[in-house]
Chains A and B, each alone.
Chain A
């Protein structure tokens, strides 16, 4: 019989918690070299011998006084949830600071394993760590690991199992006697309440209360013992503060813990501080006061150049593979509905979107490097002053730039913002950061209409322009709806780390798989729906009339033209045509025909569907010229002004359903949900109309 062990993985941000779980299992948790990568708890199952180990990866948390919403997730789990063993991961590079948090965790007196990670970096600096002394001093098992080199991680499991099968050892950490006295006094009061019978738990709560932990204070607020506890607590605050000559009992405890941690580090870690580390040398260049921002902009520009240039090579190949396959299948398969659905509906749609996969991968690789190297927090530092001008602050940079990849995780990343106003503003403008799924539309339109300019530059302008617009909207929101200052900016800057090629490759592979899966399922089905809606009902008299005409014509070209005319008419009279014409008045001022209108509306489900729908619709209306790619067809059928208007609409209007769903779960207030659902579309339309009209006046 196997038994289950529930394990909580906890530690300060960026110490390698997720990396360790990845090293232990075949999980592919997201890892990055900045604080706040993990923002929600994730469960991973492992099997070792007879044990089912259920590990929960928690967001990084600096201290038990949770500061930001994602830290609150971790704290709630630690305090309220049921688990057998706690694994506290610390970073060997910042050992004493990490140990301060360990002290807070030890206050809980639970079965704990201390994992000191990143020992490879300590070794590189010529340092040594004496884990046996730490073990002895703290009275808990200590494991040295390097998740990067996959060293020592299995030992964590061994220790977990060992702890699980033994009794909880004695607590070895004590505060100053004056503090201990008060802790015991308060714990006694707490134990009068049936909720806090346990010795350990009451001691932990007492410490938290003396530490002025507001969550815990609220927790006892409604209990019968509250008055007694409150009065005792007030007296303790006053007495302790005067005895220790400190402003707050929090400081007293902080000093105590700091002293213990400092001593621990001195006893066990032997390392010399480098004069100027490699990171500092790189920083001298990358975040130079004057050149820092231009360098950042250059990186962004280079990324979009590469996105276009590198992505373009395989693009034509993929495009022609799909075109050849579908025309081969069209002849090979028996004529009929199945043939048409496949070769006119699904394949052109899936092909139209898959051909942009290389572009998307280059973009994702760039964003991934930003995350993995440690440049992310530097960029946030560089942008802080700039973002303040728009009512945001440096930390908002992380969700905003993640929005260039995918809006869904970007909304989640906004959890790292403490101030609710900052958070909602950031989330409301996140849609302006064009996500990777919008890239195909831009590449398509840029290739069709700006082929003789530098297309990479155009992409850069579109993305930066969108971001800039978003910031202007943020400023307006801040002045009109959310008055006040943004939360203070403080962020850790980890050392630069060389990303592993394996991790980068793995990430791209996951993205590729997800993308292909979406193309093969969601987009294929959407294409089928579009095909059916645009093929029925068939107007038989129209078909007969045209067929008669075609038969009478001798000239091949004229025959072609008639056929195309018939197709176009049929499409116009289909359900989708009716729908298109029904909504077209909305888009007519922007110069959209009904097909563009349908594609834009369909894009609300997912942005990939815009291109795939265009693929289907243009394939159907010109069924006789399948050999011509979508780019050429767009150039033929869409006018320049309308193309620009389309770019603007795509840049601004509501993101996909998945993103909207995430916004709804993250923001509970209906007022904001409704505002969020409406305003981007209004702004998008107005701006597109303005630009369309201006271009018309300029004579385009």
Chain B
């Protein structure tokens, strides 16, 4: 369902952000990207703008137009900040002296 239709207080996981590239990057840098858990705290009178709490991160204010382009799936309880990475940590950090990229198995 659309983020703009999400009931107040319901937690949901972001499925996709269907906005133009610039804006999508912006949302992602502000902590709102696919895989993230969020919840709508409130709307303004007339529902023009939403107050959204991104879990384990900040609150965002955004307007209905953009929220209607964000797809979410409501969930019950869940862990903070959806575990989004497919990759394992060991792939990214290199501790050995002469650091070589580790093979991807």
Interface residues of chain A, those whose CB is within 8 Å of chain B, are: 12, 62-63, 65, 67, 93-94, 96-97, 100-101, 136-137, 170-178, 180, 212, 248, 250, 254-256, 258-260, 262-263, 265, 267, 273, 279-280, 283-284, 287-290, 292-293, 377-378, 380-382, 384-385, 388, 393-394, 488-494
For A492, what are the chain B residues with a Cβ–Cβ distance below 8 Å? 30, 58-61
Report how far A262 CA is from B45 CA in the complex, Å. 35
For A256, what are the chain B residues with a Cβ–Cβ distance below 8 Å? 87, 92
Report how far A490 CA is from B61 CA in the complex, Å. 5
A289 and B48 within 8 A (CB): no
Q: Which of A172, A377, A380, A490 contacts B99 (CB 8 A)?
A: A172
Which B residue sits closest to A100, measured CB to CB? B29
Given contacts A94-B58, A96-B56, A490-B23, 11 further A-B contacts (CB under 8 A): A62-B29, A63-B29, A65-B22, A173-B92, A174-B101, A256-B92, A378-B61, A394-B61, A490-B30, A493-B61, A494-B58
B57 and A488 within 8 A (CB): no
Q: Which of A62, A65, A174, A262 contacts B84 (CB 8 A)?
A: A262
Chain B interface residue number, banded: 35 or more
For A250, what are the chain B residues with a Cβ–Cβ distance below 8 Å? 21, 25
A493 and B59 within 8 A (CB): yes
Q: Which of A67, A212, A260 contacts B89 (CB 8 A)?
A: A260
Report how far A290 CA is from B47 CA in the complex, Å. 11
B58 and A493 within 8 A (CB): yes
B76 within 8 A of A: no
Tell me the residues in window 59-104 of chain B with beta carbons closer than 8 Å to chain A beta carbons: 59-63, 65-66, 80-81, 83-87, 89, 91-95, 99, 101-104
Q: Which of B48, B93, B101 contacts A388 (CB 8 A)?
A: B48
Instruction: Report the minimal beta-carbon distance from A627 to chain B, rounded to whole angstroms.
Output: 54
B4 within 8 A of A: no
B62 and A489 within 8 A (CB): yes
A212 and B63 within 8 A (CB): no
For A94, what are the chain B residues with a Cβ–Cβ distance below 8 Å? 31, 56-58
Given contacts A254-B28, A488-B66, are A381 and B86 in contact (CB under 8 A)?
no
A62 and B30 within 8 A (CB): yes
Given contacts A173-B93, A255-B85, A259-B86, are A385 and B28 in contact (CB under 8 A)?
no
Report how far A403 CA is from B19 CA in the complex, Å. 32
Which A residue sits closest to B28, measured CB to CB? A254
Report how far A254 CA is from B29 CA in the complex, Å. 9
A174 and B59 within 8 A (CB): no
Report how far A619 CA is from B51 CA in the complex, Å. 56
Report how far A254 CA is from B87 CA in the complex, Å. 12
Report how far A492 CA is from B84 CA in the complex, Å. 22
Given contacts A256-B87, A258-B84, are A62 and B26 in contact (CB under 8 A)?
yes
Instruction: Report the minimal beta-carbon distance from B44 to chain A, rounded to whole angstroms.
Output: 5
Q: Secondary structure of the A side of the interface? A: helix
Q: Which of B26, B35, B42 contacts A490 (CB 8 A)?
A: B26
Instruction: Report the minimal beta-carbon distance from A697 to chain B, rounded to whole angstroms.
Output: 39
For A394, what are the chain B residues with a Cβ–Cβ distance below 8 Å? 49, 61, 63
For B56, what are the chain A residues with a Cβ–Cβ distance below 8 Å? 94, 96, 265, 273
B33 and A283 within 8 A (CB): no
B43 within 8 A of A: yes
Instruction: Report the minimal beta-carbon distance from A155 to chain B, rounded to whole angstroms.
Output: 24
For B27, what are the chain A residues with a Cβ–Cβ distance below 8 Å? 490
B41 within 8 A of A: yes
Given contacts A100-B29, A176-B91, A381-B51, are A491 and B61 in contact (CB under 8 A)?
yes
Report how far A97 CA is from B21 CA in the complex, Å. 19
Report how far A68 CA is from B60 CA in the complex, Å. 17
**CB<8 Å pairs between A and B, sample of 20:** A172-B94, A254-B33, A255-B85, A256-B87, A258-B35, A259-B92, A263-B85, A265-B56, A273-B56, A284-B42, A289-B42, A377-B61, A380-B61, A384-B49, A385-B44, A385-B49, A488-B23, A488-B65, A489-B66, A490-B61
B55 within 8 A of A: yes
A260 and B92 within 8 A (CB): yes
Report how far A388 CA is from B45 CA in the complex, Å. 14
For B21, what are the chain A residues with a Cβ–Cβ distance below 8 Å? 212, 248, 250
Given contacts A263-B85, A491-B60, are A174 and B45 in contact (CB under 8 A)?
no
Which B residue sits closest to A63, measured CB to CB? B29
Report how far A525 CA is from B23 CA in the complex, Å. 51
For B95, what are the chain A residues with a Cβ–Cβ distance below 8 Å? 136, 172
For B94, what are the chain A residues with a Cβ–Cβ distance below 8 Å? 172, 174
Which of B45, B87, B92 has the most CB atoms of chain A within a 10 A radius of its CB? B92
Which of A63, A175, A180, A262 has the most CB atoms of chain B within a 10 A radius of its CB? A262
A175 and B92 within 8 A (CB): yes
For B101, what are the chain A residues with a Cβ–Cβ distance below 8 Å? 174, 177, 180
A174 and B48 within 8 A (CB): no
Report how far A670 CA is from B80 CA in the complex, Å. 52
Which A residue sits closest to B85, measured CB to CB? A259
Which B residue sits closest to A279, measured CB to CB? B59
For A377, what are the chain B residues with a Cβ–Cβ distance below 8 Å? 61
Which A residue sits closest to B94, measured CB to CB? A172
A178 and B86 within 8 A (CB): no
Which of A97, A292, A494 has the most CB atoms of chain B within a 10 A radius of its CB? A97
Instruction: Report the minimal beta-carbon distance from B12 to chain A, rounded to whole angstroms.
Output: 16
For A279, what are the chain B residues with a Cβ–Cβ distance below 8 Å? 59
Which of A180, A258, A267 has the most CB atoms of chain B within a 10 A radius of its CB? A258
